[in-house]
């Protein structure tokens, strides 16, 4: 199948219509999400040598994370079905995205977030977009269980990634990578929380492969944080902990999907420490000029680890999805960086500090 794109980007439902569930035009709710850049790494050669490393910068979606890809589909479908309200449990980005797309659709959004541990940017987004924000005394897994219980009996549409339309929208990330490169990478690295995204990317690659748009498939490489690594450990984690709050999940909803992606592609589900995550987070910002949030950097941390282990070799093409924007989480950014220097408004004193 030959693909041609022309004109201005129309949002991913219209751009990828042939590959998505049918939807009435008047129900389409879009903020022109998708079409994010695939940025070639140029300053990490000391680590990666002659591996081609590319960064799929999902922080440049309308609300600053890949969640918009799934949300345009989920909210559009909910609207088509006549829903008046959506609900989700969230570690932050899903709530920001649900709130924005619900506002756009003229729907009410209810978001359940853990009380504490939500990055400031994400919480402020959900509030600004007019969602009802419910901070529960519990973690993400508790919040998701409550959402499941409510949507069973009440007329509010669940927009967590167990909503199949979320996965449908998110698979378009793999379409874009395939179109940008003209082939699939050797390895595709992703952070893994609820495991919806790795499930979605694998689905997307397989669909493009089946249509003959790409003639190879990547190995899917999912990385969890060490303190929240249920899939690696093989059992749910009761009290997950990591500073990468977007992947602080103890019982992933798409566990099976992640295992299938790993097994079918010959990939891995691994884990990285918070120190490794923060190191990758800083490298991306300070050396490549790409600011992602901590959870996003778990993908690069995984790639660095597997390069050190000799799994990645020269000539490989490696894509890391950077799932969310760094501005979401100013607190972690401040903690990971040298402090500003306080100095008198005096040219001589400033020059001295500058080293001249
Ligand atoms: C949601 C999220 C993840 C985890 O994605 P899953 O589909 O739940 O595995 C990773 N990073 C960021 C920034 C997120 O918002």
pLDDT tens sequence across 306-354: 999 999 999 999 999 999 999 999 999 999 999 999 999 999 999 999 9
Rounded to whole angstroms, the Cα distance separating 257 from 59 reads: 24
Number of H helices, E strands in the chain: 15, 10
Is the predicted pLDDT of residue 232 greater than 80, yes or no? yes
Is the predicted pLDDT of residue 291 greater than 80, yes or no? yes
Is the predicted pLDDT of residue 6 greater than 90, yes or no? no
Query: Residue-wise over 161-185: b if at least 16 C-beta within 10 A, else e?
Result: bbbebbbbbbbbbbbbbbeeeebbb
Report which ligand 1 atom has the smallest distance to the Cα of 191.
10
Q: What residues have CB less than 8 Å from 239, skipping those under 6 apart? A: 139, 250
Query: What is the pLDDT confidence band of residue 1, given thresholds at 50, 70 and 90?
Result: low
Cα(191) to centroid of ligand 1, in Å? 7
Cα(190) to centroid of ligand 1, in Å? 9
- Per-residue confidence (pLDDT) for residue 3, from 0 to 100: 73
Rounded to whole angstroms, the Cα distance separating 161 from 174 reads: 17
Q: Please give the C-alpha separations between residue 241 and each of 10, 64, 187, 193, in angstroms, as whole numbers.
A: 39, 23, 27, 12
Rounded to whole angstroms, the Cα distance separating 29 from 74 reads: 9
Query: What is the pLDDT confidence band of residue 161, given thresholds at 50, 70 and 90?
Result: confident
Rounded to whole angstroms, the Cα distance separating 25 from 28 reads: 5
- Per-residue confidence (pLDDT) for residue 2, from 0 to 100: 61
For ligand 1, pick from 324, 325, 332 the residue to mutate: most ligand atoms within 8 Å of CB. Answer: 324
What is the rounded average pLDDT for all residues in the chain? Answer: 96
Rounded to whole angstroms, the Cα distance separating 202 from 174 reads: 7
Q: What is the mean pLDDT of residues 105-129?
A: 94
Cα(251) to centroid of ligand 1, in Å? 14
pLDDT tens sequence across 313-325: 999 999 999 999 9
Are the beta carbons of 301 and 276 closer than 8 angstroms?
Answer: yes
């Amino acid at each position: 199948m030959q693909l041609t794109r022309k004109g201005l980007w129309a949002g991913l439902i219209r751009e990828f219509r042939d590959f998505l569930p049918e939807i009435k035009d008047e129900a389409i709710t879009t903020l022109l999400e998708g079409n994010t850049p695939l940025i070639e790494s140029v300053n990490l050669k000391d680590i990666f040598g002659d591996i081609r490393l590319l960064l799929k910068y999902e922080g440049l979606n309308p609300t600053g994370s890949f969640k918009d890809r799934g949300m345009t589909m989920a909210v559009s479908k909910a609207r088509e079905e006549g829903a008046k309200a959506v609900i989700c449990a969230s570690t932050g980005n899903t709530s920001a995205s649900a709130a924005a797309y619900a506002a756009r659709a003229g729907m009410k959004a209810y978001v359940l977030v853990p009380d504490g541990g939500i990055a400031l940017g994400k919480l402020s987004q959900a509030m600004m977009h007019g969602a009802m924000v419910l901070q529960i005394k519990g973690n993400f897994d508790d919040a998701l269980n409550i959402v499941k219980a409510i949507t069973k009996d009440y007329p509010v549409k669940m927009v967590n990634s167990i909503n199949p339309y979320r996965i449908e929208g998110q698979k378009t990330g793999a379409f874009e990578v395939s179109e940008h490169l003209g082939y699939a990478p050797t390895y595709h690295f992703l952070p893994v929380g609820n495991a919806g995204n790795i499930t979605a990317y694998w689905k997307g690659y397989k669909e493009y492969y089946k249509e003959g748009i790409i003639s190879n498939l990547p190995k899917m490489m999912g990385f969890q944080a060490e303190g929240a690594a249920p899939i690696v450990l093989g059992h749910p984690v009761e009290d997950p902990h990591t500073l990468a709050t977007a992947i602080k999940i103890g019982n992933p909803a798409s566990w099976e999907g992640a295992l299938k992606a790993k097994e079918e592609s010959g990939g891995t589900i691994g884990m990285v420490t918070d120190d490794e995550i923060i190191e990758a987070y800083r490298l991306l910002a300070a050396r490549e000029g790409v600011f992602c949030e901590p959870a996003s950097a778990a993908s690069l941390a995984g790639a660095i680890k597997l390069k050190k282990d000799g799994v990645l070799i020269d000539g490989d093409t490696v894509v890391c999805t950077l799932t969310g924007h760094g501005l979401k989480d100013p607190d972690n950014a401040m903690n990971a960086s040298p402090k500003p220097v306080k100095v008198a408004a005096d040219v001589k004193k400033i020059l001295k500090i500058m080293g001249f």
